[in-house]
Each structure stands twice: as C-alpha cells, then as structure tokens.
C-alpha cells in the first residue's frame, strides 16, 4: 500500500447557506491518477480549489503528503493555518484551469520562469533550464520567445501545463482543461496529459467530461453528485458494472459527444 498523498477527512464546504460539499472522505495514493466526474454544479471544482488553497473548507481536514493543509499543529493541537504554512504546503500542488490565464505581456518562456524565479528563488539560468525542459515535454520547445496571443488555444493550455510543472508539484490538478477549446484542439492537450500520466510518478486529479480519456488514464474514477461522492472505483467498475442509477443516468449523456467515441466498448 503506497502512502496517501492527498486525503480529505469529513470535508464540508458551504457558500453562505448552501452546502455544496457534504462530508467528503477521499484518500489518494502517491502516484495515483483520479478522474473526478459528475454533473455541472456537483462540487468538483470546489473540491480541488480547496486543495489549491483557493477555497477554505467549512469543516474537516485536508492533508497533503501527511501534512494538514488548512491547519497546523501547535502543541499537538490543530489550529488554523497561517499564510506561511499555507504557502509551504501549497508548493506541493499545481493546477491547470479551464481558462489558461497566461500573462499576455510575457513570452511563453517568461510565463514559465516567473514563478520559479520569484516563488522558488531559482536563478534565471536554472529557471530557464527547467522551463525549457517542461516546454519540450509539452511539445512547445520551438515557441519559447513568442507571445500567448500568437498561440492556439491548445498551445496556450500546454503552456499553462508547463508553467505548473516547472514548480515540480507532487500533485497536479486539472479542471476541465479542454472544455474551452475548439474540438480539433482537444486531442493534443489530452495527449500531453496522457503522457504525463503514463510517466507514473505524479499524483493527478483530473476533472473531466472526456469519459474515454478518463477511462484510459485514471486508476480510479470518483463520481460526485450533489456534493456527495456517490460512487468510486476502477474505471471498469464505474463504466461497465455500476448499478447506481444516478451514475448510469449521468454516463448515458456521453455516448454521442465524446472526443474519443465510445463505440469500441459498450458503456
Ligand atoms: N464562490 C462561490 N460562491 C457561491 N457559490 C458557489 C461558489 N463557487 C461555487 N459555488 C456553487 O457551488 C456549487 C458547486 O460548484 P462547483 O464546485 O463549481 O461545481 P462543478 O465544478 O462540479 O460544476 C454550485 O452550485 C455553485 O454554484
Ligand atoms: Mg467545475
């Protein structure tokens, strides 16, 4: 059994009166790839934004590599984390969003070196070496000196991925990274994620509506509905054998409009 890299323990999240996550318990092993699926509004983004420290849980504990994220231990008691603690633990996490949010006035290379220089304190030379390595990994080694406006959506998203990877996070979060792309650009982005997943080392949580892709790269599928984890298991169980009605209803919508058609195997 590998050690948990991420764990959610009795995590709840409300916005005002509305509870959008209800008692979430989830443990993700080091190196595990988890695909988070579920209807719009079910709480997927909120679940991973709490891990990126962009939202604070209302209650419960989230741990990253054995360290509480939103809490710290003082005299053997958990107290709310201070900014320094959050910053330290957050360094383990990288996130790619639906909208790439690149800095428009910086080149591709500069987009990928700014955080290593200013957050990690690397020299310009070290930051550049790392950035070039990651940009080559996402197949943009020939685009270092151009500006985001000159890139396609798929290329922008791959820059966003390289920018997250240069920080060498232990956990990478992908939130519907292909939903804003033109259909013909989806494949190249999924391919880069697939290669990253197959390298094996990195723990990955992917929110996606690409079911065939999820089935291919994920070790485990987690189905979230209405703020609850309704079902989780290996892809085969989720896609072929589940008898859960809500899950079956959700999956039935994907038969026709997946980028990777589901025709080769039945759902
Ligand atoms: N900042 C916010 N303020 C108020 N409600 C929010 C906020 N963020 C998300 N929500 C609500 O929380 C629920 C879950 O949202 P979200 O996590 O984005 O779901 P998903 O990513 O599965 O579509 C939705 O009902 C959404 O409207
Ligand atoms: Mg979302």
Give helix 153-165 / helix 108-118 axis angle, nearest 10°.
Answer: 20
pLDDT of residue 35: 98
Rounded to two decimals, what is the model's pTM?
0.92
The residue among 145, 121, 123 whose CA lies nearest residue 132 is 145
For ligand 1, whether the C-beta of 149 sits within 6 Å is no
For ligand 1, whether the C-beta of 13 sits within 6 Å is no
For ligand 1, whether the C-beta of 113 sits within 6 Å is no
pLDDT of residue 3: 81
For ligand 1, whether the C-beta of 208 sits within 6 Å is no
Burial of 135 (0-12, 13-18, 19+ CB in 10 A): buried
Q: 16, 43, 209, 225: which to mutate for ligand 1, most atoms within 8 A of CB?
A: 43
pLDDT of residue 256: 43
Atom of ligand 1 nearest to the CA of 176: 21
pLDDT of residue 59: 96
pLDDT of residue 261: 45
pLDDT in tens, 148-169: 999 999 999 999 999 999 999 9
Euclidean distance between CA atoms 131 and 89, whole angstroms: 22
All residue ranges of the chain with pLDDT < 50 are 256-267
Q: How far is the CA of 178 from the centre of ligand 1 (A)?
A: 19
pLDDT of residue 260: 47
Ligand closest to 99 (CA) is 2
Q: Strand pairing of 203-207 and 33-37?
A: parallel
């Amino acid at each position: 059994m590998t050690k948990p890299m991420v764990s959610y323990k009795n995590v709840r999240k409300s916005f005002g009166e509305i509870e959008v996550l209800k008692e979430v318990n989830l443990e993700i092993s080091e190196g595990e790839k988890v695909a988070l699926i579920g209807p719009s509004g079910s709480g997927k983004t909120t679940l991973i934004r709490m891990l990126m420290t962009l939202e604070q849980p209302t209650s419960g504990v989230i741990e990253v590599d054995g360290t509480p994220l939103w809490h710290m231990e003082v005299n053997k008691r958990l107290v709310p984390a201070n900014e320094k603690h959050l910053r330290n633990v957050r360094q383990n996490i990288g996130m790619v969003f639906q909208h790439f949010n690149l800095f428009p006035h910086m080149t591709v290379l500069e987009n990928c070196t700014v955080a290593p220089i200013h957050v990690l304190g690397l020299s310009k030379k070290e930051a550049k070496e790392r950035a070039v390595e990651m940009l080559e990994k996402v197949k943009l080694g020939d685009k270092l000196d151009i500006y985001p406006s000159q890139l396609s959506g798929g290329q922008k998203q791959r820059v966003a991925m390289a920018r997250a990877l240069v920080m060498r996070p232990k956990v990478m979060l992908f939130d519907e990274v292909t939903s804003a792309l033109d259909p013909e650009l989806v494949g190249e982005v999924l391919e880069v994620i697939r290669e990253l997943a197959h390298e094996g080392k990195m723990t990955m949580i992917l929110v996606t509506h690409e079911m065939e892709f999820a089935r291919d790269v994920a070790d485990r599928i987690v189905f979230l509905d209405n703020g609850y984890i309704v079902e989780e298991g290996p892809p085969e169980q989720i896609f072929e054998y589940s008898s859960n009605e809500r899950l079956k209803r959700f999956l039935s919508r994907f038969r026709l409009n997946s980028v990777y058609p589901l025709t080769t195997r039945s759902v």
